[in-house]
Amino acid sequence: MLEAAVILAAGFWAGMINVVVGSGTLVTFPVLLLFGYPPLTANVSNNIGLVFGGLSGSWGYRREAAENKQLLVRLLPISLVGGLTGAILLLILPASAFGTIVPVLIMLGLLMVAAGPALQHRAARVAARSSSPQAAHSRAVALAVGTAVLGMYGGYFGAAQGILLVGLMSVVTVHSLQQITGIKNVLVTAVNAVAAAVFLLAAGEAINWTIIALIAVGSTLGGLAGARFGRRLSPTAMRTLILVIGVAALARMMFAD
């Protein structure tokens, strides 16, 4: 019961911060590792469960997404192809490879979380200095390529994918942070959904339905709460919790070995 309650709470927190900041996987995934679930099972089940939080969060930011419908129409197919590629890579590579790569991915994700504010401020300054047509074309190309790469990353693991998308769009678009958040929520949810479909079809042995149910319920409620109240929460508090849980997961993996 305690384990279920903690996973449910982690799903709620992940759903909430995914909507506002991104990187919810860095809450739920380490929690699952702390309870002893294999990395592949934790990753696959977590991915499927968080889709529901992405849907509720995207609904909460539907106004911002609708304001950028044309951009979403261009980027969604790119994200879907990237997510499909990443999910297939996860299934093709041996489970031992994922277990080896996970600590590196968690460390990179934690660094992204810690450096997020500085990167976003720097991105805003770069975008303000580049306003020529040629620069606009270059930014459009960079946005498409970056979206594809991050889609692949999201389909494979996905921690801090939202933060990376926010940073990318802050550099190459002129949209406000709230509009970028609305776009990011749709793209991340699309990547998670296509990856979840692949996992459901081809990775049944790595799926834990109890984990999925707990994270799905928690993240759905968290996504709704994040869209409504998340802007009022302290980003510093969110980032601190992510860093603490992530470091704890790394420590457990090192001692387990």
Return the top range by mean pLDDT from 88-97, 117-126, 218-227: 218-227
The boundaries of the domain holding residue 251 are: 2-256
Confidence of residue 240 (pLDDT cuts 50, 70, 90): confident
Distances, alpha carbon 14 to alpha carbons 72, 160, 195, in Å: 24, 11, 18
Q: Are 159 and 180 in contact (CB under 8 A)?
A: no
Confidence of residue 226 (pLDDT cuts 50, 70, 90): confident
Query: What integer pLDDT is reported at residue 119 of this predicted model?
Result: 65
For residue 53, give the nearest of 88, 25, 74 by alpha carbon. Answer: 25
Backbone torsions φ then ψ of 23, nearest 5 degrees: 80, 20
Which of 10-14, 77-81, 133-137, 165-169 is the least confident region?
Answer: 133-137
Query: What integer pLDDT is reported at residue 190 of this predicted model?
Result: 95
What is the identity of the amino acid at 206? A
Give CA–CA dist 8/217, Å, rounded: 7
Give CA–CA dist 55/188, Å, rounded: 10
Q: For residue 30, count CB atoms less than 10 angstroms from its CB and return exposed for 0-12, middle for 13-18, buried for 19 or more.
A: buried
Confidence of residue 250 (pLDDT cuts 50, 70, 90): low
Give CA–CA dist 178/210, Å, rounded: 34
Average pLDDT (55-73) is: 90
**pLDDT higher at 225 or 104:** 225
Q: DSSP class of residue 233?
A: S
Question: Average model confidence (pLDDT) for the chain?
Answer: 83
Q: DSSP class of residue 67?
A: T
Q: Are 21 and 31 in contact (CB under 8 A)?
A: no
Distances, alpha carbon 106 to alpha carbons 24, 33, 62, 158, in Å: 12, 12, 30, 10
Give CA–CA dist 51/190, Å, rounded: 8
Rounded-to-10 torsion of CA 11, 66, 232, 3: 0
Q: Are 155 and 82 in contact (CB under 8 A)?
A: yes
Q: Is the pLDDT of residue 231 over 70?
A: no
Domain count, the chain: 1
Give CA–CA dist 188/163, Å, rounded: 10
Query: What integer pLDDT is reported at residue 239 of this predicted model?
Result: 66
Average pLDDT (34-46) is: 91
Within 8 A by CB and 6+ apart from 89, the residues are 152, 155, 156
**pLDDT higher at 158 or 155:** 155
- Apex 51 CA angle, 45 and 53, nearest 5: 115
Give CA–CA dist 96/146, Å, rounded: 28
Query: What integer pLDDT is reported at residue 148 of this predicted model?
Result: 95
Give CA–CA dist 208/212, Å, rounded: 6
What angle in degrees, to the nearest 10, is found between the helix axes of 25-34 and 95-129? 160
> What token pair was written down for 190?
């699309």
Query: What integer pLDDT is reported at residue 26 of this predicted model?
Result: 82
Average pLDDT (117-139) is: 67
Give CA–CA dist 164/118, Å, rounded: 13
Instruction: Indicate the pTM of the whole model.
Output: 0.80
